[in-house]
Homo-oligomer: A and B are copies of this chain.
């Protein structure tokens, strides 16, 4: 159920994008323990002039392969989020050639009643999901 919104700078091939989405989902399944088919992702490809990402003084350099990822999710344990950050950086680096310095992530948290996956029903409330 997390809904993932990626913001990247244009210049990615479809193969690279597909790999980014696949690997991110794989890490989501492993660390947040969501079902394999719990996958909702969109990517925005922006002109270079429409993206700014500095480093909050952390000394992290960014390149044009920058990935900014915003996840909307029901509450998750802190340890799971930390493991998601760690493993995603690791896996995107080894599988996609995206450096850990190019990955900026944030979570937005909502509640069970805030989701409908189709058919006009709130599946966490009806008991179809839990």
Listed in ascending order, the chain A residues whose CB lies under 8 Å from chain B are 1, 3, 7, 14, 17-18, 21, 25, 35-46, 49-58, 60, 68, 70, 72, 78, 81-82, 85-90, 100-111, 113-123, 125, 128-129
Contacts and interface: CB of A to CB of B under 8 A. Distances in A.
A85 B54 contact: no
Nearest to A39: B54
A51 B41 CA distance: 6
Contact of A103 (B57, B103, B113, B116): B116
A36 B55 CA distance: 10
Contacts of A3: 68, 70, 104, 106
A122 B82 CA distance: 6
A113 to B, nearest CB: 5
Nearest to A53: B40
A20 to B, nearest CB: 11
Given A38-B54, A54-B40, A118 B106 contact: no
A52 B39 contact: yes
A7 B41 CA distance: 10
A120 B100 contact: yes
